[in-house]
């Protein structure tokens, strides 16, 4: 049988009948969205996971009777598409290779894609085809791209709204930057230093005595400013530069870096550090005068190249002073030895409950550090001291107003105070070096000036988001904590760019709205997009008044109609439509979007909409790897959705991906596993061929058993789907039902068709095509629109289920014993003595196992065989009352033939033939067995 042919057939039928088009109705609505994909390549297995989960839920909810809206659009905002167009234009070898090999774009098509427009056109078409060929139940009338004029109107409207609410502010921020390309660099633009982060140094301005020169000491530990004994410079050439009107002395490298900051920097002259040694500078915080001294460990390529020395807490400083003492360097610069003697470590941090030492001295001795060339050990020592002091340290009384403060707090406080007083500044530096751009140039930290920021740090805004989060459903649940933390951690975000595709900031048209910032509330736009696509609305109609009214209910239809040129009745119906669909009931997404998009999604909804339109639930899922390897869009390996479906079929792909893993854990795509899953689905088909159209014969207990078991599958599948546990759902609905069917057929069941209608409906959200196909052998309706099977308690028969389990266990036991008998031919069976049944019943009258055990364990003799008692009781509790109530003899007699077939033995029920010691092993539910 050909899966693909069936799939295409039903996809055509669904489309022809528009069965997934959703419009307001009397029914209760369910609005589910999946983040639209970014179109710098083809959809791949990772998308497949997120989308398939969404589609399974959409289909499930539809079958539960909801009016489900499941729309899709395409994201094209930002720089990658432009970058890709440039690379293709340049015929970049690597790009051509990756796109032909992994994205499956034919070479001749690919080389045509030399403009962003062509790329968007091409990949949106491909994406739509792919999404159609896997059979997602999307309402395609609502598609759009973020470059559409109407969408941009909608974004402009949103940004005006945010501006009105003062949620957009101006500021500067540091970015990783390539001086050669004159552009910020992203991770994938780097040759080296991908893991480098931008570190913020505090600059503390020490003024040189009798001079206007400032020595800007860069430090990561501003709180130790109270313990500065001297200043270090490397004995080499430095420069004097004018920085915002001040004269700074910094390393040459530092000067280069300063040019990229938001400061006004002017070169003055070169100077020799040597001529400054022995001079004094003033600590702006303590007023203490400290000498300027030489040290080799100073790295001119790190921050300003000017270092304040805190020998009590900084192992480097401590060791460097020791080195000075031992060497003749001071004499070389004509500095008296008395200077050294004044460099006594000033301890300013204590750790409660520990004895007072000079930390840098202690650690240096402990690690056996000899001199400042022991860089590795010194780095380790520095970290150790920092770690201890940061977490457990408290500022001592010699730190003025910071005295008694925790170091972790004092650190930030001192930093802020320095900046406020004008005695401090910041200097950005990479945490690791070098950071090198793909063009080969070493990157710098650039401070972008006057940029627009979304003011996420706004405490009221945050508070509202945090409060709403508590009311939301987050799946899986433990992600709520993650969201809580991320919301608290979120800082202002730059929302403007110079380069890329996108919408201009309406009040400052030099800037483009950055891609994550234009994707926050676009779910609302699906409702409008439908009418743009049908031609009933044009972009010009989307005036602020219209959007205000439709989305927020502001104004009256009459006025809105005049301003927008839209018929008043249509204005009203748009408003009703919006009000019907909003809010988003579920946003289901990959876990990579938690710390960005999903946060912004919440923040923006909460800022802009009234509470009744705030999102109700968010679900998060993991990634997909390929044969254990991480997929990569830009390097491969990659499995496109299209390739997966053409090779394995839509249903197989869907079911595999749904069953491969749960929630945020990652799935691995293994070709072999996918293939064997294909066989399982084929089995479903052949079972249907054999049984679906067969009229049931007389209904037996075995049939009732199957129906009973099936009820439980229905219940658990529903429960799983209500929690978005697709793996569990598929496991139960498909594999466990399949196992029951195996037993049913093995037992001689003939009426499989009694559950097939329900089974197909149970599976329809996961493997809709094959279910639709089989369903139509008997019905004219679409299974996709049928009601989902309901759990029917009245069809559950615990007795029958216990009876079957009893039988299975009995056969197992007989086969087990059989192994030990030479040439076995007969099995004798006898049932447990009445007194055992009675004892069990008494014990069972207690409410739970714990109670019973407690009671029974008081008896010393029972205690000795507690394990036996345990297994005895466990089973009783598991099986329930029914274990005592079943008529063992009847079950065995009825299944005599079956037992004989399964064991190959003649079965005789006769207690006379069973030796005493075998009889002892019997329990209710476990007859005595004797084989000869």
Q: Which of residues 209-238 bind RNA (CB under 7 A)?
A: none
Which one of residues 849, 884, 909, 913 is an interface residue with RNA (CB under 7 A)? 849
Strand-pair category, 826-830 with 198-208: unpaired
853 binds RNA (CB under 7 A): yes
Task: Compute the least distance from the CB of residue 425 to RNA, in Å.
Answer: 19
Calpha distance 571→553 (Å, rounded): 11
Which one of residues 220, 384, 447, 821 is an interface residue with RNA (CB under 7 A)? 821
Task: Compute the least distance from the CB of residue 398 to RNA, in Å.
Answer: 26
DSSP SS3 for 512: strand
- Show contacts with RNA in window 175-204 (CB under 7 A): 175-176, 184, 186-187, 197-198
Tokens 């003492």 sit at which residue? 325
CB closer to RNA out of 8 and 896:
896
How many residues lie near RNA (CB under 7 A)?
102
Q: What are phi and psi of 248, to 5 degrees?
A: -105, 145
Give residues with Cβ within 8 angstroms of 884, minimum separation 6: 837, 840, 841, 844, 876, 924
Which one of residues 111, 169, 738, 913 is an interface residue with RNA (CB under 7 A)? 738
- Show contacts with RNA in window 146-175 (CB under 7 A): 173, 175
Residue 761 CB: number of other CB atoms within 10 A? 19
DSSP SS3 for 291: strand
671 binds RNA (CB under 7 A): no
DSSP one-letter string for 89-121:
HTT-HHHHHHHHHTS---HHHHTT--SHHHHHH
Q: What are phi and psi of 483, to 5 degrees?
A: -65, -45
CB closer to RNA out of 12 and 630:
630
Calpha distance 26→823 (Å, rounded): 72
- Show contacts with RNA in window 897-926 (CB under 7 A): 918, 921-922, 926
CA dihedral in degrees (780, 138, 658, 3; nearest 10)? 50
Task: Compute the least distance from the CB of residue 820 to RNA, in Å.
Answer: 4
Which one of residues 361, 736, 757, 792 is an interface residue with RNA (CB under 7 A)? 736
Task: Compute the least distance from the CB of residue 175 to RNA, in Å.
Answer: 5
Which one of residues 121, 209, 813, 833 is an interface residue with RNA (CB under 7 A)? 813
Give residues with Cβ within 8 angstroms of 681, minimum separation 6: 3, 649, 651, 652, 655, 767, 770
| Interface region with RNA, contact rule CB under 7 A, candidates 77-85, 234-242, 303-311, 349-357 | 77-85
Task: Compute the least distance from the CB of residue 634 to RNA, in Å.
Answer: 11
Task: Compute the least distance from the CB of residue 586 to RNA, in Å.
Answer: 20
Query: Facing residues of 907 across strands?
Result: 827
456 binds RNA (CB under 7 A): yes
743 binds RNA (CB under 7 A): yes
CB closer to RNA out of 64 and 817:
817
117 binds RNA (CB under 7 A): no
The beta strands (E) that lie in 34-189 are given as 67-69, 168-178, 183-184
| Interface region with RNA, contact rule CB under 7 A, candidates 157-165, 494-502, 692-700, 893-901 | 494-502
Binding pattern for the stretch 540-579 against RNA, x by CB under 7 A and - elsewhere: ----------------------------------------
Select from 340, 346, 380 the least CA-distant residue to 363.
Answer: 380
CB 237 within 8 A of CB 257: no
| Interface region with RNA, contact rule CB under 7 A, candidates 392-400, 527-535, 610-618, 661-669 | 661-669
Which one of residues 267, 507, 735, 777 is an interface residue with RNA (CB under 7 A)? 735
CB 137 within 8 A of CB 58: yes
Task: Compute the least distance from the CB of residue 743 to RNA, in Å.
Answer: 6
812 binds RNA (CB under 7 A): yes
CB 305 within 8 A of CB 238: yes
| Interface region with RNA, contact rule CB under 7 A, candidates 18-26, 261-269, 361-369, 737-745 | 737-745
Task: Compute the least distance from the CB of residue 812 to RNA, in Å.
Answer: 6
| Interface region with RNA, contact rule CB under 7 A, candidates 223-231, 285-293, 420-428, 859-867 | 859-867
746 binds RNA (CB under 7 A): yes
| Interface region with RNA, contact rule CB under 7 A, candidates 94-102, 305-313, 742-750, 789-797 | 742-750
Calpha distance 404→398 (Å, rounded): 10
CB closer to RNA out of 194 and 540:
194
Task: Compute the least distance from the CB of residue 819 to RNA, in Å.
Answer: 7
835 binds RNA (CB under 7 A): no
The b-or-e profile of 659-696 (16+ CB within 10 A means b, else e) is: bbbbbbeebebbeeebeebbeebeebbebbeebbeeee
Which one of residues 653, 731, 753, 767 is an interface residue with RNA (CB under 7 A)? 731
683 binds RNA (CB under 7 A): yes
Query: Facing residues of 496 across strands?
Result: 513
135 binds RNA (CB under 7 A): no
864 binds RNA (CB under 7 A): no
Which one of residues 491, 779, 890, 901 is an interface residue with RNA (CB under 7 A)? 491
930 binds RNA (CB under 7 A): yes
Sheet bearing 928-931, strands edge to edge: 906-909, 826-830, 928-931
Query: Facing residues of 291 across strands?
Result: 280
Residue count of the chain:
932
CB 96 within 8 A of CB 113: no
Query: Facing residues of 425 across strands?
Result: 203
Task: Compute the least distance from the CB of residue 114 to RNA, in Å.
Answer: 19
How far is Cα of residue 757 from the mean position of the Cα atoms in its chain?
Answer: 37
Task: Compute the least distance from the CB of residue 65 to RNA, in Å.
Answer: 28
DSSP SS3 for 202: strand
Enclosing H/E stretch for 575: helix 568-581
**Residue 179 tokens, joined:** 């001086």
The beta strands (E) that lie in 262-356 are given as 265-272, 280-282, 289-294, 307-309, 349-351
Query: Facing residues of 74 across strands?
Result: 145
**Residue 284 tokens, joined:** 């702006």
CB closer to RNA out of 175 and 521:
175
CB closer to RNA out of 370 and 683:
683
Which one of residues 220, 817, 839, 913 is an interface residue with RNA (CB under 7 A)? 817
Specify burial of residue 790 (Cβ count, 10 A radius: 0-12, 13-18, 19+): exposed
User: Distance of CA 19 to CAs 62, 118, 733, 767, 786, Å?
Assistant: 11, 31, 24, 17, 12
Calpha distance 454→377 (Å, rounded): 43
CB closer to RNA out of 561 and 661:
661
| Interface region with RNA, contact rule CB under 7 A, candidates 279-287, 297-305, 668-676, 760-768 | 668-676
**Residue 843 tokens, joined:** 């014990």
Specify burial of residue 890 (Cβ count, 10 A radius: 0-12, 13-18, 19+): exposed
CB closer to RNA out of 91 and 498:
498
323 binds RNA (CB under 7 A): no
384 binds RNA (CB under 7 A): no
| Interface region with RNA, contact rule CB under 7 A, candidates 61-69, 107-115, 319-327, 866-874 | 866-874
Give residues with Cβ within 8 angstroms of 879, minimum separation 6: 802, 805, 925
44 binds RNA (CB under 7 A): no
Which one of residues 151, 154, 402, 479 is an interface residue with RNA (CB under 7 A)? 479
- Show contacts with RNA in window 686-725 (CB under 7 A): 686
500 binds RNA (CB under 7 A): yes
Binding pattern for the stretch 868-897 against RNA, x by CB under 7 A and - elsewhere: x-xx--xx--x-------------------
Cis before 583 (ω within 30): yes
Task: Compute the least distance from the CB of residue 333 to RNA, in Å.
Answer: 39
């Amino acid at each position: 049988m050909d899966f693909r042919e069936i799939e295409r057939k039903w996809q055509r039928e669904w489309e022809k009948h528009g069965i997934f088009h959703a419009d307001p109705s009397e029914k209760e609505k369910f609005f589910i969205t999946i983040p639209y994909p970014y179109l710098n390549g083809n959809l791949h297995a990772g998308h497949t996971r997120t989308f398939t989960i969404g589609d399974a839920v959409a289909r499930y909810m539809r079958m539960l009777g909801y009016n489900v809206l499941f729309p899709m659009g395409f994201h094209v905002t930002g720089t990658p598409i432009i970058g890709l167009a440039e690379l293709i234009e340049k015929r970049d070898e690597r790009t051509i290779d990756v796109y032909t090999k992994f994205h499956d774009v034919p070479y001749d098509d690919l080389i045509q894609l030399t403009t962003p427009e062509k790329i968007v056109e091409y990949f949106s078409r491909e994406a739509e085809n792919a999404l159609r060929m896997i059979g997602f139940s999307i309402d395609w009338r609502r598609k759009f791209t973020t470059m559409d004029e109407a969408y941009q109107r909608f974004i402009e409207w949103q940004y005006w709204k945010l501006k009105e609410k003062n949620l957009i502010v101006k500021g500067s921020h540091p970015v990783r930057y390539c001086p050669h390309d004159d552009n910020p660099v992203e991770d994938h633009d780097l040759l080296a230093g991908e893991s480098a982060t931008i570190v913020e140094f505090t600059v503390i301005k020490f003024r040189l005595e009798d001079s206007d020169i400032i020595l800007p000491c860069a430090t990561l530990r501003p709180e130790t400013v109270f313990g500065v004994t001297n200043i270090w410079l490397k004995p080499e050439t430095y420069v004097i530069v004018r920085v915002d009107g001040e004269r700074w002395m910094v390393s040459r490298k530092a000067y280069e870096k300063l040019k990229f900051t938001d400061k006004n920097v002017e070169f003055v002259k070169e100077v020799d550090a040597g001529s400054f040694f022995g001079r004094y500078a003033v600590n702006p915080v303590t007023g203490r005068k400290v000498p300027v001294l030489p040290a080799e460990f100073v790295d001119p390529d790190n921050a300003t190249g000017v270092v304040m020395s805190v020998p009590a807490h900084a192992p480097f400083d401590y060791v460097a002073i020791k080195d000075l003492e031992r060497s003749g360097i001071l004499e070389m610069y004509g500095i008296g030895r008395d200077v050294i003697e004044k460099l006594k470590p000033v301890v300013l941090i204590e750790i409660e409950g520990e004895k007072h030492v000079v930390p840098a001295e202690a650690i240096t001795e402990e690690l056996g550090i000899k001199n400042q060339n022991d860089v590795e050990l010194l780095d380790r020592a520095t970290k150790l001291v920092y770690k201890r002091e940061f977490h457990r340290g408290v500022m001592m009384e010699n730190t003025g107003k910071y005295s008694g403060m925790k170091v972790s707090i004092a650190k930030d406080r001192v930093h802020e105070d320095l900046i406020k007083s004008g005695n401090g500044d910041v200097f950005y530096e990479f945490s690791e070096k070098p950071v090198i751009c793909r063009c080969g140039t070493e990157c710098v930290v650039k401070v972008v000036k006057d940029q627009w920021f979304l003011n996420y740090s706004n405490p009221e805004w945050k508070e509202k988001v945090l409060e709403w989060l508590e009311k939301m459903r987050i799946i899986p649940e433990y992600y709520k904590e993650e969201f809580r933390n991320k919301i608290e951690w979120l800082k202002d975000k730059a929302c403007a760019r110079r380069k890329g595709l996108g919408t201009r900031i309406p009040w400052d048209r030099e800037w483009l709205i950055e891609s994550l910032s234009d994707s926050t509330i676009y779910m609302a736009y699906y409702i409008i997009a439908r009418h743009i696509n049908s031609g009933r609305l044009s972009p010009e109609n989307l005036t602020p008044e219209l959007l205000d009214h439709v989305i927020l209910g502001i104004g009256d239809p009459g006025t809105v109609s005049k301003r927008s040129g839209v018929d008043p009745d249509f204005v009203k119906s748009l408003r009703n439509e919006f009000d019907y669909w909003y809010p988003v009931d579920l946003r289901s997404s990959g876990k990579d979007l938690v710390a960005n998009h999903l946060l912004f999604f919440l923040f923006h909804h909460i800022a802009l909409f009234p509470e009744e339109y705030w999102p109700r639930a968010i679900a998060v899922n993991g990634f997909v790897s390929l044969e254990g390897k991480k997929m990569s869009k830009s390097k491969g390996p990659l499995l496109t959705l299209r390739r997966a479906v053409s090779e394995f079929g839509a249903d197989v792909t869907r079911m595999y991906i749904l069953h491969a893993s749960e929630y945020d854990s990652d799935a691995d795509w293994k070709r072999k596993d996918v293939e064997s899953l294909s066989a399982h689905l084929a089995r479903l088909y052949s079972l249907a061929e054999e049984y679906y159209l067969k009229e049931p014969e007389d209904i037996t207990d075995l049939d009732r058993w199957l129906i009973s078991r099936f009820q439980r599958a229905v219940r658990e599948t529903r429960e799983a789907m209500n929690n978005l546990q697709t793996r569990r759902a598929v496991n139960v609905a498909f594999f466990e039902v399949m196992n029951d069917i195996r037993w049913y057929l093995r037992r001689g069941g003939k009426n499989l068709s009694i559950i097939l209608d329900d089974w197909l409906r149970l599976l329809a959200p996961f493997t809709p095509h094959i279910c639709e196909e089989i369903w139509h052998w008997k019905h004219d309706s679409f299974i996709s629109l049928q009601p989902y099977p309901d759990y029917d308690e009245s069809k559950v028969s615990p007795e029958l289920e216990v009876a079957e389990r009893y039988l299975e266990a009995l056969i197992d036991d007989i086969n087990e014993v059989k192994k030990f008998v030479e040439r076995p031919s007969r099995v004798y069976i006898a049932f447990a003595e009445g007194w055992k049944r009675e004892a069990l019943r008494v014990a069972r009258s207690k409410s739970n196992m714990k109670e019973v055990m407690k009671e029974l364990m008081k008896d010393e003799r029972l205690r000795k065989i507690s394990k036996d008692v345990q297994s005895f009781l466990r089973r009783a509790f598991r099986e329930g009352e029914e274990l005592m109530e079943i008529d063992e003899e009847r079950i065995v007699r009825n299944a005599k033939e079956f037992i004989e077939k399964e064991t190959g033995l003649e079965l005789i029920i006769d207690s006379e033939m069973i030796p005493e010691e075998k009889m002892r092993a019997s329990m209710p539910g476990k007859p005595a067995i004797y084989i000869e």
